[in-house]
Structure 1
């Protein structure tokens, strides 16, 4: 069975307001592209209307119907042609048309085209500083005052003429001010929307940069440490291969374990980057804590670096603080494996103070001096970034003479002092 086409009356009709808005937007877009076309059309319409009135209709309302036709024609053109500049130079257009309006009132022609000055007043209220309205209203009122002074009550009572004229001027001004207020308010809203959009984009870029920095820091801590351990195990296994094959096999087993652990953690980080839907699953792997310190030290000792630990006090730290302390120890020991040289030893002194404060000192007996290319790496900057998150301080540098080696000192203040 073939599908039945819906009848025209079954289709949702476009609302009239949306149709009008769409047409209005198109007209405004065309006017922005070709403003002269619209100005010529509007001016041509009023010129044509004024010329038709000058053919004889003006005598129906004139104070003096015997005004020469040539003068009426010239006045009609002088009152309508300046409308071409109503949007670009409304004040100048009003000044140009003023002599014709005064002559029209003085001669008694009282041309209806003089009412087009209200359109110029509207554009002055719309585009020029509002203080300009005072002299604009005074100018357009002058011809009415001239007609009242010259012809008196023959054209009606003076208060009726002035009242109706001022009312017309007030309506033109009010419309201009209203449209101007709405336009300015719309521009403010659009500018605010643009700024909010820009700020939103900036926040997204900052968040993305912070996330990249966090991931780079995590990858440095994980991969850098594990590769250093693997390098130490490989060097030890090479020396042990000739004398003790069993020790070499143990070194190879440790290399495999360490590399698999590093590979697993790397995959977890890459999962977060690759697929947002898998973020929850990736986060199931917990971040290391101080309870994992023994495993870290076992790997370091297996790589050939003797490490002693001293712990003073006891406290339960939040996960974020534990991760910071753990990563600082990890980075310090990694640098020792890389730069301290053979026969170096390390000592970890961890002290839990009152109120949740923590003091950590990691020292080694290596060659001392700054690590090679320290400014190019992320080790020390990463430790300082982690420490600053909790308002702590980090000092790293060679141990004072005559001692040899490197010293890293971390202190995290009380949680309430942050």
Structure 2
């Protein structure tokens, strides 16, 4: 009898298509001819196709007490399905058929969703001809084998237009670095780069910006703002006609322009950055703002701006002594020094939990330590409402974050050193 354990190299307790996988198998009551040597067993895999010339192999972890534990190393399955691993002793037991000595372990093979991890550069001229480096994960093995050669079966599109040239410059077990050349595209502005392959359920994509040939823009001042926007920023742009009036948008939200000056072919635009709405949780977002001619929005250039979220609490738990609550934030803050904790915990109930005289000390730009005082009743699992009215990003751009509810975690218990004699 055999049981298949979780696969490594896959996820979710199985294996993933296009990636090598290691499966832990436990066999009960192995035959007497099986020893601790891997050569005393044979393994075969069915239910999936594998790259030519590659086969499964095994190693014995433990044998004894009626149990055999081993690892089966499986080459990359070339598609999802149910993988069957057949194990049999290399030497038959006298009087027992080989079929009776064969055990089978079933392992699920999932189809991973391909992902684009990075694109550089992520903005290019719509005239085409720019070589773009794309790092994608979970592509089929056949698509990863390159070293400067064309990526087999891989299609890359920019703004819906297929790149004529796609090659592999580097690959490992999980990631593939592709180099694709942007084709001529008839429009400019925010777009997508997509990586697809016939064996993938859906293409992987990432944001990509196309700029009109000969048009350039950059942010000069006020380039970092909060998610709510409102910062006064100054952008410069060249390549537009002197008579063009320019506008700006970020992810479809239009900025309010207050002033525009033109000198020696250079436009300088003063405006108020719009808000940016997102459901993702990240300390900051680097986005491309589109600077465009109001008379013809297809003529545009892009410039980078940063939207910063208010600092969020990553963790809040007791220190090993149980006398302090350590709150760690997801980014450097403008906090410093120490205050009475009523500045951060404004309700009477919360102050009763941490103690009426509790002190809140910034031990670093990312860590606020609550030093509990006499009478504190705080225990792991309690909820506290942390006021972030006095907490902003280190550059102040994020603005205050309002109230955040945090859950108090238990301390890490430190174990004293011990000496084991054997």
Q: Which has the higher strand share?
A: 2
Same fold? TM cut 0.5: no
Larger radius of gyration: 1
Q: Which has the higher helix share?
A: 1
Could you tell me the TM-score, scaled by structure 2's length? 0.16
